[in-house]
Each structure stands twice: as structure tokens, then as C-alpha cells.
Amino acid sequence: MVTEIKIDPITRIEGHMGISVKVENGTIIDAQCNSTMFRGFETILIGRDPRDAPVLAQRICGVCHQSHRIAGVRALENAAGVKVPDGARKMRNLIEAVTTLYSHALWFYALCGSDYSDALTKNGLKRLDPITGQGYREAVGNQRKLHEVLSILGAKVPHQMTYIHGGLTHEPSVEKIMQMKTRMFEVSDWIGKTTDLPAVLDDVSGGKHDYSKGYVLNDVVDWALYALKEKAQTWGVGHQKYVSYGVYDMPDGTSFEPAGVWDGSKVIPMDEKKITEYVKYSWYTDSSGGVPTRDAPIPEVDTEKAGAYSWAKTPRYGTMAVEGGPLARMVIAGSDPFDLRKNLGGGVEKASTFNRTIARMQEALILRDKIMEWLDELKTGEPTYTDFEVPDEAFGVGLWEAPRGPVGHWTDIKRKKINRYQVIAGTTWNATPKDDMGQRGAIEEALIGVPVSDVKNPINVVRTVRSYDPCLSCTVHVMMPGGQKYSIQVT
């Protein structure tokens, strides 16, 4: 017998998302991912000064706000041919790295960790209990410290204002550098030294916790050992193909985390002109799809469209269904610190609910170490801004990475005004409906084969969805009237 389970909305994510799965013999055989909002930001920007775009588009999301501002700024700089000073490059990298570290910590403790906590599973992981867990409470305090670092860099959080086209509005001072280092040292002590991870893994595997080696390291290992007992490395697999736009500009023009596409067997160069949006199963007219990099049609709503079930469009790399996020970035970079995914997760490039979580925490450790290094590279009095003129006519592309996936902004300028604007957010790559070829979206495909032992408590469904850290506020916008209350329906 086939049982259908509908969860709407999925909680402990950013935004509004519904999931529908069909279960047969305790295993999911089909899935649909429904984004329940319509985005209108591209339409808002038409006819405005191109310099307005980063400020307004940043409001697409209150979580990865900085990533949208950066992508919008880069699109205009690309159109105008601007090269920013090295001082701005350094501070921009710091802004994004601190944003991502804060996001990963928040995700692990406040959004994902509760699914594996003692409060839910009676497994002894009380530090992950929501609200009352000591790890949860520590994360809130350290998140505040990371926000304070971002406030020093960007004037306020969320929606920092110092990151502008041409560079930044301020230069680092000795006082600001020391303030940031002080807070980062405190956060770093809470996390633990990266080099201590193998020792922590040995300790916790033997039933010992030495929190002097880092609270986060101990909590992540606790989580990993329990997740392996749940066989999370065997489900939540998906397409096992990945995309990254690249992030963190280096002096030689490369990216610290490089751009690329993993096609299932190897990394190939990423060509943004091959990005295509499909709309067969979205509530838009058929003419609303296409190549956003060049024709960027204004979406036309069609709520009566047969077969449609989502407000999200369906981006593809050519015809390839891919996923984005920390696992994608780690695979494309060829990075697997301490061989965790290889030895515990079944493979460096393998996708699973387990490996997505491990990759996110591996990236957190990498970025924490780079933040401390990059703070030492800041120089007082170093220029951070280059003046420029808005072009009369130009086309610009801004590609970047949000914590949860690739962010792209495309701007077409005519008579010094925005003629067309297009955004593809990180979660748009992951939370899509099926494409015109019938391929499921990344989250949909990852749900196939996930075990469901209790249809009234489908915990592995939400564990898999949350492994992507979806942000539907980015994917689509403007809540439609008549929304439903939270429910789990079993039919």
C-alpha cells in the first residue's frame, strides 16, 4: 500500500516550504517540493538606478542578505569594468567568511541539531536539545559575537551597508582589527582547534568528552556517531552532481573555493551561459523560462497551469540537475579534511544526509582558520574604494556563493537604468520542482529511498530536507493570501 505524507510548512528552515512524499514498504518512492511564495524582486528593480540593485536585492533575505548584496555589487562592477582595490578584496572575503561561519553554526544548533537531540530521540545528546540544550544556548551567544564582527565590518547586521560597488565605504583601523580578533578568538576557543578533531573523534568514540578541545568539535562528533547509527550515510543521496560559482577572491584572480561543476565523475569548468531555467511544473507561463544570463524574461504568473506545484523555477546546468552548497563546494575544491567523508560517509563525492552535514562543518573549520589568517593580512590605511561611472548600456554578471548555495545576479543596463534583472538564489538550485525532462529537483531526488519507519513521525524526511539548509525566502518572494497552517497529513 502506498501512503502519502504531506508536511506543510517544513519548520526550522528559512521561509515557507511544503513537502509531499509517497511511502511504500517503509521507503519513499516519490517526492514533491513545493515553494509556497512568489518572488517579485526582479520586477521591482526595473527602471531604477543600477546602484539601487544591491541595496534592494539584499532584502531578498534576512539570513544570506550579504551574499545577495555581494552578487548585486559584482554584477554592476562587471558591467562597468571595475576592479576594486586589494584592501576591499580582503575585507569582502572576511564579510562573507564570517557570514558563512555564523550561518553554519546557527544551522547546526538551531535548525538541524534538534532532529538528533535527546529531546526527540532519547539518545543522550542533550546539548543539542532546542532552547534548553547547553550547546544550543552557547551557539546563540557565539552567534552574537560573530554578528558583532560583521557589524564592525559592515556597520550593522542584517543588511550591512559598507559593501558597495567599487569597494567598501571604510578602511580598517587598528582598533577595529583588534575588536574583531578579540571576538574571533572567543568563538574559536568555543569551536576548538581544527588539528584536535582526530583526537576528539577518538575520545568521543571511546565514551570520553574533553571539552577543553572545543565544544563544537565534541558536539559534531557526537552527532556524527549517532547519525551513523541511523545510517544517514546511506540515504538522502540525490543526483550526486554539483555546481559552485566560486567564492573568496584571491590576489591572482582565482577563488579560494573554486567555481566548477561535478558531472558525476569529474570537475568541469562552470560556464554561466549554460544556466537555464525551466518552468513546466512552476506556476508561470511557459514563456517565463529560458536563459537568465541573456534573455531573462519577466515571470508571468499562471496559477491554473496543469501539473504545476511550486512558485520556484527550475535552474539547470544545461540539462543537468545539480545541487549546490557546502558539499558541492568541498567536492569541487577536492577538499575532505581528515578524510571524514571518505572514511565515514562512504566517499568523498558521495551525497547523503550525513555527508552534507559533515561537509558543512568541515567548511566551518576551514573558514574559521582562514578568518584568523585574513584578519592578520589587513593593513591600516590601505585603499578600499575605486570610483567609477555607471555605463549607459552594459550587461553584468555577479556570481558568488551563499552559505547554502550559488547566488547569481544578472543586470541589463540601458540609458543608465536597469532594463532587466535576474536572480537565481542558492536554494533555488536545490528546492526546485521537476524540470521539462522529468528530472526531480535536488531535494526531491534526495528523498527517494529515504526510510520512513513511522508515517506519523517521518523524522528522516525533515532530516534530509534540513541537510540542505533551505532558504525559501531567497528562492521565491511575496506570500500569497490563503496560506495554510502547519500540518502533517497522512493519506
Residue 479's pLDDT is 33
Q: How many H-runs (helices) and E-runs (strands) does the chain carry?
A: 16, 16
Tens-binned pLDDT, residue by residue, of the chain (491 aa): 899 999 877 776 666 678 999 999 999 999 999 887 666 788 889 999 999 999 998 888 766 778 899 999 999 999 999 999 999 999 999 999 999 999 999 999 999 999 999 999 999 999 999 999 999 999 999 999 999 999 999 998 888 889 999 999 999 999 999 999 999 999 999 999 999 999 999 999 999 999 999 999 999 999 999 999 999 999 999 999 999 999 999 999 999 999 999 999 999 999 999 999 999 999 999 888 887 666 655 678 899 999 999 988 999 999 999 999 999 999 999 999 999 999 999 999 999 999 999 999 999 999 999 999 999 999 999 999 999 999 999 999 999 999 999 999 999 999 999 999 999 988 899 999 999 999 999 999 999 999 999 999 999 999 999 999 987 554 443 333 344 444 555 65
Q: What is the total residue count of the chain?
A: 491
Residues 111, 463 contacting (CB under 8 angstroms): no
Architecture of domain 2-490: Orthogonal Bundle (1.10)
Cα radius of gyration rounded to whole Å, the chain: 22
How far apart are the C-alpha atoms of 481 and 6, rounded to whole Å? 20
Residue 474's pLDDT is 45
Residue 486's pLDDT is 40
Residue 65's pLDDT is 75
Task: Report the candidate in 391, 440, 399 with the shortest Cα–Cα distance to residue 241.
Answer: 440
Give the DSSP per-residue string, 311-349: SS-EEEETTB--B-SHHHHHHHHT--GGGHHHHTSS-SS
**Predicted structure pTM score:** 0.93
Residue 148's pLDDT is 97
- Alpha helix locations (H) across 132-243? 134-154, 174-191, 197-205, 215-229
Task: Report the candidate in 279, 315, 309 with the shortest Cα–Cα distance to residue 408.
Answer: 315
How far apart are the C-alpha atoms of 128 and 347, rounded to whole Å? 27
